[in-house]
Protein backbone atom coordinates (compact mmCIF):
# COMPACT_ATOMS: atom_id res chain seq x y z
CA UNK A 1 0.00 0.00 0.00
CA UNK A 2 2.87 2.36 0.80
CA UNK A 3 4.38 1.50 -2.57
CA UNK A 4 1.05 2.23 -4.22
CA UNK A 5 0.87 5.63 -2.53
CA UNK A 6 4.36 6.56 -3.71
CA UNK A 7 3.51 5.37 -7.22
CA UNK A 8 0.28 7.39 -7.13
CA UNK A 9 2.08 10.59 -6.10
CA UNK A 10 4.73 10.08 -8.78
CA UNK A 11 2.04 9.50 -11.41
CA UNK A 12 0.15 12.64 -10.37
CA UNK A 13 3.42 14.63 -10.35
CA UNK A 14 4.37 13.52 -13.86
CA UNK A 15 0.91 13.89 -15.39
CA UNK A 16 0.32 17.23 -13.65
CA UNK A 17 3.62 18.66 -14.89
CA UNK A 18 3.01 17.51 -18.44
CA UNK A 19 -0.48 19.05 -18.31
CA UNK A 20 0.97 22.36 -17.14
CA UNK A 21 3.57 22.22 -19.90
CA UNK A 22 0.72 21.65 -22.32
CA UNK A 23 -1.08 24.60 -20.77
CA UNK A 24 1.87 26.90 -21.47
CA UNK A 25 2.31 25.50 -24.98
CA UNK A 26 -1.36 25.84 -25.95
CA UNK A 27 -1.53 29.35 -24.50
CA UNK A 28 1.53 30.30 -26.57
CA UNK A 29 0.04 28.85 -29.76
CA UNK A 30 -3.19 30.78 -29.22
CA UNK A 31 -1.19 33.98 -28.73
CA UNK A 32 0.69 33.35 -31.99
CA UNK A 33 3.94 32.21 -30.35
CA UNK A 34 5.91 29.00 -30.76
CA UNK A 35 5.88 28.32 -27.03
CA UNK A 36 8.04 26.18 -24.74
CA UNK A 37 8.27 22.39 -24.85
CA UNK A 38 5.73 20.49 -22.77
CA UNK A 39 8.54 19.43 -20.40
CA UNK A 40 9.35 23.06 -19.57
CA UNK A 41 7.60 23.05 -16.16
CA UNK A 42 9.63 19.95 -15.27
CA UNK A 43 12.89 21.74 -16.17
CA UNK A 44 11.77 24.73 -14.09
CA UNK A 45 10.99 22.50 -11.14
CA UNK A 46 14.38 20.72 -11.21
CA UNK A 47 16.21 24.03 -11.52
CA UNK A 48 14.30 25.55 -8.61
CA UNK A 49 15.03 22.50 -6.45
CA UNK A 50 18.74 23.01 -7.15
CA UNK A 51 18.75 26.68 -6.16
CA UNK A 52 20.08 28.07 -2.92
CA UNK A 53 17.63 29.44 -0.39
CA UNK A 54 18.90 32.24 1.82
CA UNK A 55 15.59 33.83 2.80
CA UNK A 56 14.44 33.33 6.35
CA UNK A 57 11.25 34.48 8.04
CA UNK A 58 10.96 31.82 10.73
CA UNK A 59 9.65 28.28 10.67
CA UNK A 60 6.00 29.14 9.90
CA UNK A 61 7.10 30.57 6.56
CA UNK A 62 8.66 27.23 5.61
CA UNK A 63 5.79 25.19 7.02
CA UNK A 64 3.26 26.82 4.67
CA UNK A 65 4.31 25.09 1.42
CA UNK A 66 4.57 21.81 3.35
CA UNK A 67 0.98 22.19 4.64
CA UNK A 68 -0.13 22.95 1.08
CA UNK A 69 1.64 19.86 -0.25
CA UNK A 70 0.03 17.80 2.55
CA UNK A 71 -3.42 19.05 1.52
CA UNK A 72 -2.74 18.22 -2.12
CA UNK A 73 -1.46 14.71 -1.40
CA UNK A 74 -4.32 13.95 1.01
CA UNK A 75 -6.82 15.06 -1.64
CA UNK A 76 -5.07 12.87 -4.18
CA UNK A 77 -5.10 9.68 -2.12
CA UNK A 78 -8.80 10.09 -1.28
CA UNK A 79 -9.94 10.34 -4.90
CA UNK A 80 -10.34 6.91 -6.53
CA UNK A 81 -8.47 6.82 -9.84
CA UNK A 82 -10.31 3.94 -11.50
CA UNK A 83 -13.93 2.85 -11.16
CA UNK A 84 -13.04 -0.82 -10.65
CA UNK A 85 -9.90 -2.90 -10.55
CA UNK A 86 -7.17 -3.81 -8.11
CA UNK A 87 -4.53 -1.17 -8.71
CA UNK A 88 -3.91 2.25 -7.19
CA UNK A 89 -6.89 2.07 -4.85
CA UNK A 90 -4.86 3.53 -1.91
CA UNK A 91 -7.29 4.50 0.88
CA UNK A 92 -10.28 5.40 -1.26
CA UNK A 93 -12.47 2.64 0.21
CA UNK A 94 -12.63 4.52 3.53
CA UNK A 95 -12.84 8.06 2.13
CA UNK A 96 -15.90 10.17 1.49
CA UNK A 97 -16.78 13.52 -0.02
CA UNK A 98 -17.12 15.42 3.27
CA UNK A 99 -13.53 14.67 4.33
CA UNK A 100 -12.37 15.45 0.81
CA UNK A 101 -13.98 18.89 0.87
CA UNK A 102 -12.19 19.66 4.14
CA UNK A 103 -8.86 18.53 2.71
CA UNK A 104 -9.25 20.75 -0.35
CA UNK A 105 -9.30 23.89 1.84
CA UNK A 106 -6.24 22.87 3.87
CA UNK A 107 -3.81 24.20 1.25
CA UNK A 108 -5.06 27.81 1.02
CA UNK A 109 -5.12 28.09 4.82
CA UNK A 110 -1.53 26.83 5.12
CA UNK A 111 -0.54 29.31 2.46
CA UNK A 112 -2.22 32.14 4.35
CA UNK A 113 -0.28 31.28 7.53
CA UNK A 114 3.05 31.19 5.67
CA UNK A 115 2.52 34.42 3.78
CA UNK A 116 1.41 36.15 6.97
CA UNK A 117 4.73 35.13 8.55
CA UNK A 118 6.63 36.46 5.53
CA UNK A 119 5.06 39.89 5.78
CA UNK A 120 5.44 40.85 2.13
CA UNK A 121 2.56 43.26 1.38
CA UNK A 122 1.95 41.77 -2.09
CA UNK A 123 1.75 38.28 -0.62
CA UNK A 124 -0.77 39.44 1.97
CA UNK A 125 -2.79 41.13 -0.77
CA UNK A 126 -2.75 37.92 -2.79
CA UNK A 127 -3.89 35.80 0.14
CA UNK A 128 -6.69 38.23 0.99
CA UNK A 129 -7.85 38.09 -2.61
CA UNK A 130 -7.60 34.29 -2.66
CA UNK A 131 -9.62 33.75 0.49
CA UNK A 132 -12.28 36.25 -0.65
CA UNK A 133 -12.53 34.41 -3.95
CA UNK A 134 -12.77 31.07 -2.15
CA UNK A 135 -16.10 32.17 -0.61
CA UNK A 136 -17.54 32.57 -4.08
CA UNK A 137 -15.91 29.45 -5.54
CA UNK A 138 -16.99 27.04 -2.84
CA UNK A 139 -20.67 27.91 -2.89
CA UNK A 140 -21.64 26.48 -6.32
CA UNK A 141 -19.20 23.58 -5.94
CA UNK A 142 -20.62 22.53 -2.56
CA UNK A 143 -24.21 22.89 -3.82
CA UNK A 144 -23.37 20.58 -6.73
CA UNK A 145 -21.74 18.02 -4.45
CA UNK A 146 -24.52 18.10 -1.85
CA UNK A 147 -27.07 17.61 -4.64
CA UNK A 148 -25.09 14.62 -5.96
CA UNK A 149 -25.00 13.12 -2.44
CA UNK A 150 -28.79 13.51 -2.17
CA UNK A 151 -29.37 12.03 -5.64
CA UNK A 152 -27.21 8.98 -4.94
CA UNK A 153 -28.01 8.58 -1.27
CA UNK A 154 -24.32 8.17 -0.50
CA UNK A 155 -21.30 10.35 0.16
CA UNK A 156 -18.82 7.76 -1.14
CA UNK A 157 -17.19 8.62 -4.46
CA UNK A 158 -17.00 4.93 -5.41
CA UNK A 159 -20.78 4.58 -4.94
CA UNK A 160 -21.43 7.62 -7.14
CA UNK A 161 -19.15 6.14 -9.83
CA UNK A 162 -20.90 2.76 -9.69
CA UNK A 163 -24.32 4.42 -9.96
CA UNK A 164 -23.15 6.13 -13.16
CA UNK A 165 -22.03 2.84 -14.71
CA UNK A 166 -25.67 1.69 -14.87
CA UNK A 167 -27.60 4.98 -14.93
CA UNK A 168 -25.54 7.13 -17.29
CA UNK A 169 -23.19 10.02 -16.63
CA UNK A 170 -24.12 12.65 -14.07
CA UNK A 171 -23.03 15.34 -16.55
CA UNK A 172 -25.98 14.28 -18.75
CA UNK A 173 -28.46 13.41 -16.00
CA UNK A 174 -27.78 16.56 -13.98
CA UNK A 175 -26.46 19.18 -16.44
CA UNK A 176 -27.14 22.12 -14.07
CA UNK A 177 -24.89 20.62 -11.39
CA UNK A 178 -22.18 19.92 -13.96
CA UNK A 179 -22.18 23.52 -15.19
CA UNK A 180 -22.05 24.90 -11.63
CA UNK A 181 -19.17 22.59 -10.66
CA UNK A 182 -17.24 23.33 -13.87
CA UNK A 183 -17.42 27.11 -13.36
CA UNK A 184 -16.03 26.59 -9.87
CA UNK A 185 -13.37 24.26 -11.25
CA UNK A 186 -12.12 26.97 -13.63
CA UNK A 187 -11.46 29.06 -10.54
CA UNK A 188 -9.97 26.19 -8.51
CA UNK A 189 -7.52 25.53 -11.36
CA UNK A 190 -6.39 29.16 -11.27
CA UNK A 191 -7.47 30.00 -14.82
CA UNK A 192 -8.87 33.32 -16.03
CA UNK A 193 -11.31 34.95 -15.36
CA UNK A 194 -10.79 33.87 -11.74
CA UNK A 195 -6.97 34.02 -11.50
CA UNK A 196 -7.20 36.77 -8.91
CA UNK A 197 -4.80 35.68 -6.09
CA UNK A 198 -1.58 35.46 -8.12
CA UNK A 199 -2.60 38.02 -10.71
CA UNK A 200 0.51 39.07 -12.66
CA UNK A 201 0.77 42.81 -13.39
CA UNK A 202 -1.35 43.50 -10.29
CA UNK A 203 0.14 41.91 -7.17
CA UNK A 204 3.33 40.45 -8.73
CA UNK A 205 3.08 36.74 -7.93
CA UNK A 206 0.62 37.18 -5.08
CA UNK A 207 1.17 34.57 -2.35
CA UNK A 208 4.32 33.24 -4.06
CA UNK A 209 6.05 36.65 -4.13
CA UNK A 210 8.49 35.94 -1.31
CA UNK A 211 9.04 32.23 -2.00
CA UNK A 212 12.15 31.17 -3.85
CA UNK A 213 14.15 28.10 -4.77
CA UNK A 214 13.03 24.87 -3.16
CA UNK A 215 9.87 26.29 -1.64
CA UNK A 216 8.71 27.73 -4.94
CA UNK A 217 9.43 24.34 -6.51
CA UNK A 218 7.38 22.66 -3.76
CA UNK A 219 4.52 25.10 -4.45
CA UNK A 220 4.69 24.25 -8.16
CA UNK A 221 4.80 20.50 -7.49
CA UNK A 222 1.88 20.54 -5.09
CA UNK A 223 -0.01 22.72 -7.57
CA UNK A 224 0.33 20.14 -10.32
CA UNK A 225 -0.51 17.20 -8.00
CA UNK A 226 -3.55 19.08 -6.69
CA UNK A 227 -4.66 19.99 -10.23
CA UNK A 228 -4.54 16.34 -11.26
CA UNK A 229 -6.52 15.30 -8.15
CA UNK A 230 -9.19 17.90 -8.86
CA UNK A 231 -9.49 16.84 -12.51
CA UNK A 232 -9.87 13.19 -11.46
CA UNK A 233 -12.51 14.23 -8.93
CA UNK A 234 -14.58 15.96 -11.63
CA UNK A 235 -14.21 12.93 -13.92
CA UNK A 236 -15.28 10.60 -11.09
CA UNK A 237 -18.30 12.65 -10.09
CA UNK A 238 -19.67 13.71 -13.47
CA UNK A 239 -18.07 11.75 -16.32
CA UNK A 240 -18.51 8.25 -14.92
CA UNK A 241 -14.92 7.67 -13.85
CA UNK A 242 -12.43 5.70 -15.91
CA UNK A 243 -11.66 2.00 -16.30
CA UNK A 244 -8.01 2.34 -17.29
CA UNK A 245 -5.21 4.89 -17.42
CA UNK A 246 -5.80 5.70 -21.08
CA UNK A 247 -9.44 6.58 -20.49
CA UNK A 248 -8.52 8.62 -17.40
CA UNK A 249 -5.94 10.66 -19.33
CA UNK A 250 -8.39 11.28 -22.18
CA UNK A 251 -11.21 12.42 -19.90
CA UNK A 252 -9.07 14.62 -17.66
CA UNK A 253 -7.34 16.09 -20.71
CA UNK A 254 -10.67 17.07 -22.28
CA UNK A 255 -11.66 18.93 -19.12
CA UNK A 256 -8.22 20.49 -18.71
CA UNK A 257 -8.03 21.71 -22.31
CA UNK A 258 -11.52 23.22 -22.11
CA UNK A 259 -10.43 25.06 -18.96
CA UNK A 260 -7.33 26.32 -20.82
CA UNK A 261 -9.46 27.63 -23.67
CA UNK A 262 -11.78 29.44 -21.25
CA UNK A 263 -8.76 30.87 -19.43
CA UNK A 264 -7.03 32.14 -22.57
CA UNK A 265 -10.11 33.80 -24.03
CA UNK A 266 -11.37 35.69 -20.99
CA UNK A 267 -9.76 38.58 -19.17
CA UNK A 268 -9.48 38.79 -15.41
CA UNK A 269 -12.29 39.79 -13.09
CA UNK A 270 -11.77 42.10 -10.16
CA UNK A 271 -12.24 40.47 -6.74
CA UNK A 272 -15.71 41.89 -6.16
CA UNK A 273 -16.79 41.16 -9.74
CA UNK A 274 -15.70 37.54 -9.42
CA UNK A 275 -17.46 36.96 -6.09
CA UNK A 276 -20.53 38.77 -7.43
CA UNK A 277 -20.62 36.58 -10.53
CA UNK A 278 -19.96 33.31 -8.68
CA UNK A 279 -22.59 34.01 -6.03
CA UNK A 280 -25.21 34.86 -8.64
CA UNK A 281 -25.04 32.83 -11.84
CA UNK A 282 -23.33 29.46 -11.05
CA UNK A 283 -24.96 29.39 -7.61
CA UNK A 284 -28.37 29.95 -9.19
CA UNK A 285 -27.75 27.22 -11.78
CA UNK A 286 -26.61 24.87 -9.01
CA UNK A 287 -29.72 25.67 -6.94
CA UNK A 288 -31.96 24.90 -9.92
CA UNK A 289 -30.26 21.51 -10.18
CA UNK A 290 -30.68 20.93 -6.44
CA UNK A 291 -34.39 21.83 -6.52
CA UNK A 292 -34.86 19.55 -9.52
CA UNK A 293 -33.32 16.62 -7.62
CA UNK A 294 -35.29 17.24 -4.41
CA UNK A 295 -38.71 17.73 -6.04
CA UNK A 296 -38.55 15.69 -9.21
CA UNK A 297 -36.09 12.97 -8.22
CA UNK B 1 26.26 42.67 -33.40
CA UNK B 2 28.92 42.17 -30.82
CA UNK B 3 28.78 40.33 -27.55
CA UNK B 4 31.32 41.13 -24.90
CA UNK B 5 32.76 38.59 -22.48
CA UNK B 6 33.60 39.10 -18.86
CA UNK B 7 35.39 36.31 -17.11
CA UNK B 8 38.59 34.78 -18.35
CA UNK B 9 38.80 31.05 -17.81
CA UNK B 10 36.96 29.47 -20.66
CA UNK B 11 36.88 25.76 -19.92
CA UNK B 12 34.88 23.11 -21.68
CA UNK B 13 33.92 20.56 -19.12
CA UNK B 14 31.86 18.54 -21.60
CA UNK B 15 34.93 17.75 -23.70
CA UNK B 16 36.75 15.97 -20.91
CA UNK B 17 36.85 12.32 -21.81
CA UNK B 18 36.90 9.39 -19.46
CA UNK B 19 34.58 7.89 -16.87
CA UNK B 20 32.52 10.14 -14.67
CA UNK B 21 31.32 9.55 -11.16
CA UNK B 22 27.63 9.65 -10.33
CA UNK B 23 28.04 12.95 -8.56
CA UNK B 24 29.59 14.67 -11.53
CA UNK B 25 26.84 13.24 -13.75
CA UNK B 26 24.21 14.79 -11.47
CA UNK B 27 26.10 18.08 -11.53
CA UNK B 28 26.15 18.00 -15.33
CA UNK B 29 22.41 17.29 -15.37
CA UNK B 30 21.68 20.16 -13.00
CA UNK B 31 23.77 22.52 -15.15
CA UNK B 32 21.77 21.41 -18.17
CA UNK B 33 18.45 21.97 -16.41
CA UNK B 34 19.64 25.39 -15.21
CA UNK B 35 20.53 26.38 -18.74
CA UNK B 36 17.13 25.21 -20.00
CA UNK B 37 15.13 27.22 -17.50
CA UNK B 38 15.91 30.89 -16.99
CA UNK B 39 13.64 33.17 -14.99
CA UNK B 40 14.20 36.81 -15.80
CA UNK B 41 13.44 39.94 -13.84
CA UNK B 42 13.56 42.94 -16.13
CA UNK B 43 14.91 46.06 -14.47
CA UNK B 44 14.05 48.61 -17.11
CA UNK B 45 16.54 51.45 -16.83
CA UNK B 46 17.39 53.76 -19.69
CA UNK B 47 16.16 53.28 -23.24
CA UNK B 48 16.73 49.52 -23.51
CA UNK B 49 13.53 48.67 -21.66
CA UNK B 50 11.67 49.11 -24.93
CA UNK B 51 13.50 46.12 -26.45
CA UNK B 52 12.25 43.71 -23.79
CA UNK B 53 8.51 43.50 -24.63
CA UNK B 54 9.17 42.30 -28.22
CA UNK B 55 11.75 39.82 -26.90
CA UNK B 56 9.22 38.17 -24.62
CA UNK B 57 6.03 38.46 -26.67
CA UNK B 58 4.76 37.01 -29.93
CA UNK B 59 7.33 38.48 -32.33
CA UNK B 60 10.51 36.94 -30.90
CA UNK B 61 9.08 34.71 -28.12
CA UNK B 62 11.96 34.00 -25.75
CA UNK B 63 9.79 31.46 -23.90
CA UNK B 64 10.48 28.85 -26.59
CA UNK B 65 14.01 28.61 -25.13
CA UNK B 66 12.79 28.42 -21.56
CA UNK B 67 13.36 32.10 -20.83
CA UNK B 68 10.40 33.40 -18.86
CA UNK B 69 9.73 36.66 -17.10
CA UNK B 70 8.95 36.59 -13.38
CA UNK B 71 7.74 39.36 -11.15
CA UNK B 72 10.02 39.29 -8.12
CA UNK B 73 13.79 39.11 -7.52
CA UNK B 74 13.28 36.15 -5.16
CA UNK B 75 12.20 33.92 -8.03
CA UNK B 76 14.56 35.25 -10.68
CA UNK B 77 17.82 33.83 -12.03
CA UNK B 78 18.77 36.68 -14.35
CA UNK B 79 18.36 40.42 -13.99
CA UNK B 80 18.39 42.50 -17.16
CA UNK B 81 19.74 46.02 -16.72
CA UNK B 82 18.76 47.75 -19.89
CA UNK B 83 20.73 50.98 -20.00
CA UNK B 84 22.57 53.69 -18.09
CA UNK B 85 22.41 53.67 -14.30
CA UNK B 86 22.29 56.77 -12.16
CA UNK B 87 23.91 56.53 -8.73
CA UNK B 88 20.44 56.56 -7.23
CA UNK B 89 19.41 53.62 -9.41
CA UNK B 90 22.57 51.72 -8.56
CA UNK B 91 21.52 51.48 -4.89
CA UNK B 92 18.28 49.79 -5.92
CA UNK B 93 20.03 47.52 -8.37
CA UNK B 94 22.52 46.35 -5.75
CA UNK B 95 19.70 45.64 -3.32
CA UNK B 96 17.69 43.78 -5.96
CA UNK B 97 20.74 41.76 -6.98
CA UNK B 98 21.45 40.77 -3.38
CA UNK B 99 17.82 39.69 -2.92
CA UNK B 100 18.12 37.21 -5.79
CA UNK B 101 18.96 33.63 -4.90
CA UNK B 102 22.16 31.96 -6.11
CA UNK B 103 22.94 31.07 -8.84
CA UNK B 104 22.18 34.53 -10.22
CA UNK B 105 23.31 36.28 -13.36
CA UNK B 106 23.32 39.76 -14.83
CA UNK B 107 22.77 40.71 -18.46
CA UNK B 108 23.17 44.32 -19.53
CA UNK B 109 21.96 45.90 -22.74
CA UNK B 110 23.59 48.75 -24.62
CA UNK B 111 26.95 50.46 -24.27
CA UNK B 112 26.10 52.63 -21.22
CA UNK B 113 26.73 49.93 -18.58
CA UNK B 114 30.02 49.02 -20.28
CA UNK B 115 31.75 52.41 -20.47
CA UNK B 116 29.14 55.07 -19.81
CA UNK B 117 28.17 55.36 -23.47
CA UNK B 118 26.84 58.79 -24.38
CA UNK B 119 26.72 59.60 -20.66
CA UNK B 120 30.50 59.27 -20.25
CA UNK B 121 30.69 62.94 -19.24
CA UNK B 122 27.73 62.93 -16.87
CA UNK B 123 28.10 63.74 -13.19
CA UNK B 124 25.42 61.37 -11.89
CA UNK B 125 25.67 58.20 -13.94
CA UNK B 126 28.17 55.42 -13.41
CA UNK B 127 30.69 54.66 -16.13
CA UNK B 128 31.61 50.99 -15.69
CA UNK B 129 28.97 48.86 -14.01
CA UNK B 130 31.28 45.87 -13.74
CA UNK B 131 33.15 47.66 -10.94
CA UNK B 132 30.08 47.56 -8.71
CA UNK B 133 28.30 44.31 -9.54
CA UNK B 134 29.58 41.42 -11.66
CA UNK B 135 28.13 41.36 -15.18
CA UNK B 136 27.86 38.01 -16.93
CA UNK B 137 26.92 39.06 -20.45
CA UNK B 138 26.99 42.51 -22.02
CA UNK B 139 24.93 42.88 -25.18
CA UNK B 140 26.40 45.79 -27.14
CA UNK B 141 24.61 48.21 -29.38
CA UNK B 142 22.66 51.39 -28.99
CA UNK B 143 20.14 49.83 -28.66
CA UNK B 144 20.57 46.09 -29.31
CA UNK B 145 17.74 44.55 -31.30
CA UNK B 146 15.72 41.67 -29.76
CA UNK B 147 17.74 39.22 -31.89
CA UNK B 148 20.90 40.42 -30.14
CA UNK B 149 19.20 40.15 -26.73
CA UNK B 150 18.22 36.56 -27.49
CA UNK B 151 21.75 35.81 -28.66
CA UNK B 152 23.02 37.17 -25.36
CA UNK B 153 20.69 34.81 -23.55
CA UNK B 154 21.88 31.87 -25.64
CA UNK B 155 25.47 32.75 -24.79
CA UNK B 156 24.56 32.77 -21.10
CA UNK B 157 22.84 29.38 -21.50
CA UNK B 158 25.97 28.00 -23.14
CA UNK B 159 28.13 29.31 -20.32
CA UNK B 160 25.84 27.85 -17.65
CA UNK B 161 25.88 24.51 -19.44
CA UNK B 162 29.67 24.50 -19.61
CA UNK B 163 29.95 25.40 -15.94
CA UNK B 164 32.15 28.45 -16.38
CA UNK B 165 32.78 30.74 -13.46
CA UNK B 166 29.78 33.02 -13.20
CA UNK B 167 29.51 36.54 -11.87
CA UNK B 168 27.96 35.56 -8.55
CA UNK B 169 30.92 33.34 -7.72
CA UNK B 170 33.24 36.23 -8.47
CA UNK B 171 31.05 38.50 -6.32
CA UNK B 172 31.32 36.11 -3.38
CA UNK B 173 35.07 35.81 -3.83
CA UNK B 174 35.86 39.50 -4.25
CA UNK B 175 33.13 40.95 -2.08
CA UNK B 176 35.56 43.25 -0.26
CA UNK B 177 36.61 44.93 -3.49
CA UNK B 178 33.04 45.30 -4.78
CA UNK B 179 31.83 46.74 -1.47
CA UNK B 180 34.77 49.15 -1.46
CA UNK B 181 33.84 50.40 -4.93
CA UNK B 182 30.16 50.66 -4.00
CA UNK B 183 30.92 52.60 -0.85
CA UNK B 184 33.25 54.91 -2.74
CA UNK B 185 30.62 55.72 -5.36
CA UNK B 186 27.60 55.88 -3.10
CA UNK B 187 29.24 57.60 -0.14
CA UNK B 188 28.69 54.67 2.21
CA UNK B 189 24.90 54.70 1.82
CA UNK B 190 24.06 51.29 0.38
CA UNK B 191 21.08 51.09 2.67
CA UNK B 192 18.08 50.54 3.07
CA UNK B 193 18.91 48.09 5.79
CA UNK B 194 17.42 44.63 5.50
CA UNK B 195 15.67 44.77 8.88
CA UNK B 196 13.18 47.40 7.82
CA UNK B 197 10.25 47.30 5.45
CA UNK B 198 10.14 49.64 2.52
CA UNK B 199 6.70 50.90 3.52
CA UNK B 200 7.68 51.49 7.13
CA UNK B 201 9.26 54.92 6.93
CA UNK B 202 9.40 55.52 10.69
CA UNK B 203 11.88 52.78 11.50
CA UNK B 204 14.50 54.01 9.06
CA UNK B 205 13.38 52.40 5.83
CA UNK B 206 13.89 54.27 2.60
CA UNK B 207 10.96 54.56 0.24
Residue B141 per-residue DSSP state: S
The H or E element spanning position A267 is none
- Give CA separation, A1 vs A8, A89, A123, A150, A261, in Å: 10, 9, 38, 32, 38
Whether A116 has its CB under 8 Å from any CB of chain B: the answer is no
Helices A121-152 and A97-118: crossing angle in degrees, nearest 10, is 180
Interface test with A, best of B62, B101, B163 (most A CBs within 10 A): B101
- How much is the pTM? 0.86
Whether A211 has its CB under 8 Å from any CB of chain B: the answer is yes
- In order along its 297 residues, chain A shows pLDDT tens digits of 788 888 888 989 999 999 999 999 999 999 889 989 999 999 999 999 999 887 777 788 888 889 999 999 989 888 888 877 666 666 666 778 898 888 888 888 888 888 888 878 888 888 989 889 988 899 999 999 999 999 988 888 888 888 888 888 888 999 999 999 999 999 888 888 888 888 877 888 888 888 888 888 998 899 899 999 999 999 999 998 888 889 999 999 999 999 999 988 888 898 899 999 999 999 999 999 999 999 887
The H or E element spanning position A155 is none
Length of chain A: 297
In this complex, the residue of B64, B66, B74 whose CB is nearest that of residue A55 is: B74
Length of chain B: 207
Kindly determine whether residue A209 and residue B36, on different chains, have CB atoms separated by under 8 Å.
no
Kindly determine whether residue A213 and residue B101, on different chains, have CB atoms separated by under 8 Å.
yes
In this complex, the residue of B33, B58, B74 whose CB is nearest that of residue A47 is: B33
Whether B71 has its CB under 8 Å from any CB of chain A: the answer is yes
| The pLDDT value given to residue B133 | 92
SS3 A107: helix
Contact list in A for residue B74 (CB cut-off 8 A) is: 55, 209-212, 216
Contact list in A for residue B197 (CB cut-off 8 A) is: 119
Whether B115 has its CB under 8 Å from any CB of chain A: the answer is no
- Give CA separation, A141 vs A144, A147, A237, A268, B202, in Å: 5, 10, 12, 20, 46
Contact list in B for residue A26 (CB cut-off 8 A) is: none
- A vs B: CB pairs below 8 A: 81
Kindly determine whether residue B71 and residue A34, on different chains, have CB atoms separated by under 8 Å.
no
Give this complex's ipTM. 0.85
Kindly determine whether residue A28 and residue B30, on different chains, have CB atoms separated by under 8 Å.
no
| The pLDDT value given to residue A182 | 93
Whether B200 has its CB under 8 Å from any CB of chain A: the answer is no
User: Which domains can be identified in chain B, with CATH numbers?
Assistant: 20-171 (3.40.50.12280)
In this complex, the residue of A36, A54, A204 whose CB is nearest that of residue B64 is: A36
Kindly determine whether residue A52 and residue B101, on different chains, have CB atoms separated by under 8 Å.
yes
Mean pLDDT by 10 residues, chain B (207 residues): 41 49 87 93 87 90 91 91 89 88 91 89 90 92 90 94 90 88 80 48 43
Is the bond into A193 cis (omega within 30 degrees of 0)? yes
Instruction: Outline where chain B has alpha helix (H).
Output: 22-36, 52-56, 87-99, 112-115, 146-162, 167-173, 175-186
Kindly determine whether residue A119 and residue B197, on different chains, have CB atoms separated by under 8 Å.
yes
Amino acid sequence: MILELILLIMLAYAVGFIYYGLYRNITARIQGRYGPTIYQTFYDSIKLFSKENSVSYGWMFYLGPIIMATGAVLTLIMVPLFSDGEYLKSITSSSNLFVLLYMMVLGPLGNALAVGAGGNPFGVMGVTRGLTRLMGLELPFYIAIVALIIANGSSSISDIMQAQASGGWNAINHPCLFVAAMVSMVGFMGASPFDIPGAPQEVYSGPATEFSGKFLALLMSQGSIFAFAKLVLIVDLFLGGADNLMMLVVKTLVIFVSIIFIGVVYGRYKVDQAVDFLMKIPTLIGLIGLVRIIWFG
Amino acid sequence: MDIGFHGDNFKWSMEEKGTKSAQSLIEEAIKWFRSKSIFVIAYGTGCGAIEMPPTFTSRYDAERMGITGVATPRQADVIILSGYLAYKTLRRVIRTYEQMQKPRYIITLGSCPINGGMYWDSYNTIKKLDDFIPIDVCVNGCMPRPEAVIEGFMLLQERIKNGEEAGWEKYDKELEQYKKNQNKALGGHIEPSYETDWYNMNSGGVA
